[in-house]
Amino acid sequence: MSGRRVFIVGDSLFAEGLAKMLAQAESATLVGVASTAEAASPMIDSSRADTIIVTAIGDAADSFCNLITRHPALPILRADLNANTVQVITSQQVSANVPDLLTALTNLSKRSDT
């Protein structure tokens, strides 16, 4: 099967339903599910996921930030069933030897309005 290798993070009926839907999709392969970001992080590497879907963050904002930091090359989709929205979150790392914040800001990619 080709397409996206998707890992789901969440512990809800919505996450379960999404997992069932992806298990039958031809354009995506479900490679793992975890109830929390802490549990998901090591599993994401071993599953070779290329996309993460987070169905809820709840009170675990720090955990979500760690997930983004640990997997900066992966797009993270935050799906909110209550708001009927999907937010696409991407991260970008800059070299650790950047001397100051202003240099780091200068090195960031420009905003694309596409």
Pairing status of strand 4-9 against strand 28-34: parallel
Q: Which amino acid is at 55?
A: T
Taking alpha carbons only, the member of 44, 61, 60 closest to residue 52 is 44
Q: Confidence band (pLDDT; 50, 70, 90) for 84?
A: confident
pTM: 0.74
Average pLDDT over residues 17-40: 90
Look up residue 2 and give its two tokens: 């080709």
Q: How much is the pLDDT for 105?
A: 67
Residue 44: exposure state from Cβ atoms within 10 A (0-12, 13-18, ≥19): buried
Query: Is the separation of the CB atoms in 14 and 55 below 8 Å?
Result: yes
